[in-house]
Chain A
């Protein structure tokens, strides 16, 4: 093995390894050292920051680790950086507003780290088995995290999420079993060359796709999303919206590109169209901000699936879309966090008069809403433009027409938030805490959605380079 890729692999893998160590440190250290109690957040944050600081640009080769179970490529490097950055933001939010009770141990950060490690493995997975194990590693901690407050809505969220998630996992396993009956080698690269699938293999693929569609929250596999987003601690909702979706999208893309045509493509076509239509229509009726963001995240999963049809160029758009979407979502959830008092987060009405009481927060929230809606010059518009452009270029204009019409519909519910903030009087004078880490995350994300659109070139170049390695 050439020494440069080897050095890179060592460097790249040391990141997750450090996170693993930090996870156990968070879990165990406070048990043994009384002085360390309450410092888990600081340990977690410093670990992530160290990992982020030592990220290196990947060499332009594919490095196969553990007999092809993990593939380190520029694409995985790009997405790992994305996942760790999301993790850092979520930890920052958790530090400012602890989601779990004070006396609970470090399990919150431990679970968060484990989920991120699962996500990292899922992104780099080279075969379906690894992808499944990574998926479980990602999902199991999240079930627990959704209910970590042990309150009624939290437990309800965790329960629903777990039941439906377990159902999705079962589908995936069944699908993998069927596939393994036909193909001895379940590496994605081998599946690419396997040729047209017979009926059994097709059934297997459909089941696996359904399983991952659960994670990505495509309609009709989205039922868990609104409840889980609403009941889970807001920090975890942000993590689910921004990061977990990315993992599902990546695996779906790997499955999608195995098929150049045929029934699986048609399934994806319908998934994308139905998701875009149904999610946006259902979002219109929402009154809770967290539920609104949940439906918005389902709708965006639909747009991402539309981008698949653009082939290579479409995937480039997906890689640009994910961080842009993540910034708006994390930012919006951070605003929710800054305002929330009860378990379920604020209703849209509760934002009334925010422009008067906290003008900067309102401006940032407006930027997130316009970005999610895809209004230029915010980054969300550029993301949608790239995604739809690729799909039109491949001849899927009908699908794009559905998607753009539905994003016009989505305008209504995103505007509803700005109406409340800017055009309704504040309910009552209330004291707000001084700005802290939550606000810092909000403004960082706001700067992101405002700048990565007009100055899209660097991020787009990275995405383009990464997209070639899938």
Chain B
């Protein structure tokens, strides 16, 4: 019964159950399918608000804990719990989901039931990743999420969808299988040390593993997360997947899935192997910053709006990785906040691109221009989102970027300096794109009759815009909830004093 009374567990199970229940709705009853899915995601959002209300901002430990035995012989539990970091990411997921569903109403025409089932199962596994405190459970959600996303891209995507879906799946899977081996090693090392099997993350944090071993284990975890983030040079799957995915798929890919990689560093890779993390941190931070500059330059040269937004994601996430790899409270808090910001602004950008694509079936900047006259509402929202994305003070992006840069200047002044250059570049390409699409003369006759945002489109864009402004002017409630979790992370990231060495040996 606790499975359902615990709001966190309910959040995981509700979308999954809704997805299965959708099978009972007749295949061709479109209205019922849409209504049911929207209802389920709204209900999930409601439960997540309850989570927010019940969350103790000052509490240092994991909250809403649930611990049910699953496979006791292996010490595997259905263990859930959240701190401030996971709280914000779960809220973000729950908020983006109804928007993604609403945006799908008009653009998905085929096999609707299967589509909405995939969306709901995806939501369940995304929330599961952020809520899991058991390493095994985490991995199940982490990998399980690939199946619905694979189908979303591959079945309802653009012209090169099969290639993009396969690339997405195989890249992510190849990155994560080594993490599976590392997870097994960590659990076995814990078993050898204490005689008990467990996959409970906090219990494994304290494990004493020699720095040499940590190096390899961290490398295995870091690879899995680097593919997901995606860090340069593991990012090549992302433009393909983003461009080919349907609007809702892009929104969730950019908004939530990429955050799982960063979340993995915060929750697993760094706390489990602090010594190795300290050694890897400058390199990862360097890769992050290189990604900021590189992806910004690539984005600058794009002609396809969606592709440009995809590359801008790589740049933003690079900055976030810099933030978490300097182990400074301000930078880490900024990084987590920036993840939420990026989810909101890039999510909104993909939604807006979807709005354009639905009207004109093209995403090329050259095909637009002068939209300010025909679509004033759209242009206003687009303006605000663009500005939020480049970090204009007063909007959410600024708060996160500023915190990351302030925090990291103290540790890596040169890297932070280079990152600033990247941020400036983002203004260049984003504003350039905005200008080309919205301002100027109306170059194409077809664009003269484009309708402005419909009520449904306003409905899913407004909440995102609202939060962008809210976080921009008043980030305190979010930062307050983050503080204990971030401090925890900083403490865990400090390499422990030399612990008794432990090596796995042959049992014989």
Contacts and interface: CB of A to CB of B under 8 A. Distances in A.
Interface of A: 260-261, 311, 355, 359, 370, 375-377, 381, 385-386, 388-389, 392-395, 397, 400-401, 404-405, 407-408, 411-412, 415, 418-419, 422-423, 456-457, 460-461, 464
B166 A412 contact: yes
Contacts of B188: 389, 392-393
Given A381-B140, A386-B74, A457-B71, A370 B147 contact: yes
Contacts of B174: 405, 408, 411
Nearest to B72: A457
A408 B165 CA distance: 15
B461 to A, nearest CB: 31
Interface in B140-190: 140-141, 143-144, 146-147, 150-151, 154-155, 161-162, 165-166, 169-170, 173-174, 177-178, 180-181, 184-185, 187-188
B34 interface: no
A392 B181 contact: yes
B177 to A, nearest CB: 4
Given A355-B155, A385-B184, A415-B170, 11 more contacts: A376-B140, A376-B144, A385-B180, A386-B74, A392-B181, A393-B184, A395-B507, A405-B177, A407-B177, A419-B166, A423-B155
Contacts of B73: 460-461, 464
B29 interface: no
A281 to B, nearest CB: 15
B457 to A, nearest CB: 29
B154 A419 contact: yes
Given A397-B185, A411-B173, A412-B166, A405 B178 contact: yes
B405 to A, nearest CB: 37
Contacts, number: 100
Nearest to B162: A423
A388 B181 contact: yes
B4 interface: no
B504 interface: yes
Contacts of B150: 415, 418
Contacts of A422: 151, 154-155
B506 A395 contact: yes
Interface string B487-508: 0000000000000000011111
Contacts of B162: 419, 423
Contacts of A460: 71, 73
B131 to A, nearest CB: 15
Interface in B43-92: 70-74
Contacts of B74: 386, 389
A277 to B, nearest CB: 14
Nearest to B161: A423
B181 A401 contact: yes
A388 B170 contact: no
Interface residues of B, number: 41
Interface of B: 70-74, 111, 114, 136, 139-141, 143-144, 146-147, 150-151, 154-155, 161-162, 165-166, 169-170, 173-174, 177-178, 180-181, 184-185, 187-188, 191, 504-508
A177 B504 CA distance: 40
A388 B180 contact: yes
Contacts of A359: 114
A138 to B, nearest CB: 32
7 contacts: A261-B508, A377-B144, A389-B187, A395-B505, A404-B177, A415-B150, A457-B71
Q: Chain B CB within 10 Å — which of A261, A311, A375 has the most? A: A375
B181 A397 contact: yes
Contact of B507 (A370, A393, A412, A456): A393
Nearest to A373: B173
Given A370-B147, A422-B155, A389 B505 contact: no
Contact of B140 (A377, A400, A457, A464): A377
B293 to A, nearest CB: 31
B124 to A, nearest CB: 10
B140 A411 contact: no
B147 A404 contact: no
B362 to A, nearest CB: 23
B170 A400 contact: no
B507 A408 contact: no
A404 B180 contact: yes
Nearest to A312: B507
B144 A400 contact: no
A386 B72 CA distance: 13
Contacts of B140: 376-377, 381
A375 B505 CA distance: 29
Ranked nearest first, the 5 interchain pairs of A and B with the lowest CB-CB distance are: A404-B177, A392-B184, A376-B140, A393-B188, A408-B174
Contacts of A461: 73
A461 B72 CA distance: 10
Given A375-B144, A394-B507, A456 B71 contact: yes
Contacts of B169: 411, 415
A419 B169 CA distance: 12
A375 B71 contact: no
A377 B12 CA distance: 14
Contacts of A401: 178, 181
A394 B72 CA distance: 20
Given A422-B151, A460-B71, A408 B508 contact: no
A400 B178 CA distance: 9
B35 to A, nearest CB: 22
Contacts of A375: 143-144, 146-147, 173
Residue with the highest number of chain A CB atoms closer than 10 Å, among B73, B154, B161, B165: B73
Given A261-B508, A375-B147, A419-B162, A393 B170 contact: no
A25 B376 CA distance: 84
B143 to A, nearest CB: 5
Contact of A404 (B71, B165, B178): B178
A408 B223 CA distance: 14
Contacts of B185: 392, 397
A397 B139 contact: no
A395 B143 contact: no
A419 B146 CA distance: 14
Contacts of B70: 457
B151 A404 contact: no
A423 B156 CA distance: 9
B181 A404 contact: yes
Contacts of B507: 311, 393-395
Q: Which one of B72, B73, B180 has the greatest number of beta carbons of chain A within 10 Å?
A: B180
Contacts of A370: 147
A393 B191 contact: yes
Interface centre among A393, A394, A456 (most CB of B within 10 A): A393
A423 B180 contact: no
B162 to A, nearest CB: 5
Contacts of B72: 457
